[in-house]
Amino acid sequence: MSRKLELIREEKLFRLLPGRTKHSRLEASGVALVDDTTALVVFDNLNQVARINLSLKHHATNTLLPAPSLGSGFEDISIDQRHRRVFCQVESVEDFDGLLRGFVAEYDEGARFIRCTRLPSPLTKHNKGFEGLAHMWRGRREYLYALCEAGHNGKGRIEVFVRARDGGWKASHRILLPPKAEFEDYAALAYRDRRLAVVSQASARLWVAQIDEKARAVTPESEAVYRFPSKSYGNVEGIAWLDRHTLVAVSDRKKKRQPGRCSDKDQSIHLFRIPAR
């Protein structure tokens, strides 16, 4: 049976960002951490990145930064902590050959645009692309982990890409998620210190496990599944590790078909603690 995540604190995003009101559309879709005090948040309806202090109170550094890109909005964000670069994920765009592909926009530490490169794996639908992104180094090789929104033969999967010599990305390998992570959909991905977290919006669950990087697979005995504190958390679409036991999450806008209670937690940023075993 899944255990319940413990809420530490949360706040509506409009209350943290200057010039925004309760009527502003802040459809949060991804979050990454600059350090243990600052988060970057992306939105699937804006070509902007929010910088938010994790006190979740009004702070002088809270702001919205422009983020030019191929698409309209982003699905997730990740940070290269070694070189302080930021990667924003574009779910799907029609490429020059007519195929749909995910793209990654890259920015430097000063939020200046560097390039936008495609992920080579073709997609089948505009709205069934990559939903989660994580960046990592292994020695001198640089990788991107991209979570696929829809399952593959009933299972979730992560496509892993390695940096190519021309600065783009090429396919490296695939990680299939095990039966414990067979959710209705896949909405968010976080990876840090060989620890993987995957969120399902439709199932309202969080799956956590260790990754054996040499075997390129999940360590079975490390798996655990958690549920959110209430059924109001039906729109979590971004997640990041703050530390081994704490996660930062962001929520998208409530959908029309969802119950009214989901508006209490939508378009928000949350901090959750994983309960002790």
Number of domain units in the chain: 1
pTM, to two decimals: 0.93
Contact 158, 172 (CB under 8 A): no
SS (H, E, C) 27-51: CEEEEEECCCCEEEEEECCCCEEEE
d(CA 121, CA 45): 24
d(CA 218, CA 214): 11
**Alpha-carbon torsion angle 55, 58, 59, 60, nearest 10:** 170
Q: Which domain holds residue 62?
A: 3-273
Name beta bridge partners: 199: 188, 206
Indicate which CATH number applies to the domain containing 175: 2.120.10.30
Name beta bridge partners: 136: 143
Tens-level pLDDT at each residue, the chain (277 residues) = 689 999 999 999 999 999 999 999 999 999 999 999 999 999 999 999 999 999 999 999 999 999 988 777 899 999 999 999 999 998 777 777 877 888 999 999 888 999 999 998 777 665 567 889 999 999 999 999 999 876 555 578 899 999 999 999 999 999 989 888 888 889 999 999 999 999 998 888 999 999 988 888 899 889 999 999 998 999 999 999 999 999 999 999 999 998 889 999 999 999 999 998 7
Contact 39, 240 (CB under 8 A): yes
Half-sphere exposure of 39 (CA within 13 A, CB side): 29
d(CA 208, CA 5): 12
Element (H, E) at 245: none
Sign of CA dihedral 254, 255, 256, 259: negative
267: left (phi over 0), alpha (psi -120 to 50) or beta: left
d(CA 189, CA 132): 5
